[in-house]
Amino acid sequence: MTGTTRSSAEIDPRRKRILFRCWHRGIREMDLVLGAFADAEIETLSEAELDELERIMAEEDNDLIKWVTGEKPVPEAFRDGLFPRIAAYRPDFSPLFKDISA
């Protein structure tokens, strides 16, 4: 189960491949961030934005999740452009039960 909410049947092969890769990252947190972004925006991204998305996707998941959550600063190369839009799709990763003894 991927979590995707959209069909890839009507999109071109490159976008279909990127959509699949966004939902199959290696760590579930990045599946949720990149997958949600791709579900919402894959059809409207320009070729240059697709290139940029593929550059971002080439980064290690552990680095990406730390940049998205603010644990580590986002590198200069990703501070503008597509990365802030992707990071906006970050779900609430806080624990469901913060303090059950309270």
Residue 95: inside a domain: no
Secondary-structure breakdown of the chain: helix, strand, coil percentages, each rounded to the nearest 5: 55, 0, 45
Can you give the pTM of this predicted structure?
0.81
What is the mean pLDDT of the segment spanning 54-69? 95
Which CATH number does the domain housing residue 33 bear? 1.10.150.250
Residue 99: inside a domain: no
Residue 2: inside a domain: no
| Total number of domains constituting the chain | 1
Question: Greater confidence, 8 or 54?
Answer: 54
Structure tokens at 91: 């779900």
What is the mean pLDDT of the segment spanning 20-42? 93
pLDDT tens-digit map of 68-100: 999 999 999 999 999 999 999 988 766 645 555
Q: Taking 50 as the threshold, does the pLDDT of residue 1 lie above it?
A: no
Residue 102: inside a domain: no
Q: Taking 50 as the threshold, does the pLDDT of residue 55 lie above it?
A: yes
Residue 28: inside a domain: yes
Distances (CA, A) of 93 to 9, 29, 39, 54, 58: 31, 8, 19, 24, 23
Range of the domain at 17: 13-88
